[in-house]
């Protein structure tokens, strides 16, 4: 529990954290996607309001292929692949 001492205010409970509806993990308030599984986090108040276009799942014209052979077809997959292959 020394993390909170080194990063005061970064890991806070309640309103400062956004729980993932998929894995229930808490993410920073400014996070748009879950750090664990990449699931888009609900944008504040409600999810059934004015919906924005979800660019993360828009398919690329051509898949982005990593040297390992892993193919990414959208920004969400690309982000996760970058996380796995730093
Ligand atoms: Zn999650």
Residue spans of the domains in the chain: they are: 54-86
pLDDT at residue 49, as a whole number = 42
Q: What is the mean pLDDT of residues 62-70?
A: 87
pLDDT at position 81 over 50: yes
Please give the distance, rounded to the nearest whole angstrom, from the Cα atom of residue 6 to the centre of ligand 1: 24
CA atoms of 64 and 46, how far apart (whole Å): 33
Q: Give per-residue pLDDT as tens, 7-58.
A: 555 544 445 578 888 898 888 888 888 888 988 886 654 444 445 566 677 7
Please give the distance, rounded to the nearest whole angstrom, from the Cα atom of residue 67 to the centre of ligand 1: 27
Please give the distance, rounded to the nearest whole angstrom, from the Cα atom of residue 42 to the centre of ligand 1: 11
Angle at 3 between CA 6 and CA 83, to 5 degrees: 105
Please give the distance, rounded to the nearest whole angstrom, from the Cα atom of residue 86 to the centre of ligand 1: 20
Q: What is the mean pLDDT of residues 67-81?
A: 87
């Amino acid at each position: 529990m020394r993390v909170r001492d080194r990063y005061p205010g970064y890991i806070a409970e309640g309103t400062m954290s956004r729980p993932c509806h998929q894995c229930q993990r808490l993410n920073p308030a400014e996070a748009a996607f879950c750090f664990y599984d990449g699931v888009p986090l609900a944008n504040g108040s409600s999810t059934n309001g004015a919906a924005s276009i979800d660019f993360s799942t828009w398919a690329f014209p051509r898949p982005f292929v990593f040297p390992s052979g892993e193919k990414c077809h959208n920004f969400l997959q690309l982000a996760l692949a970058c996380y796995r292959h730093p």
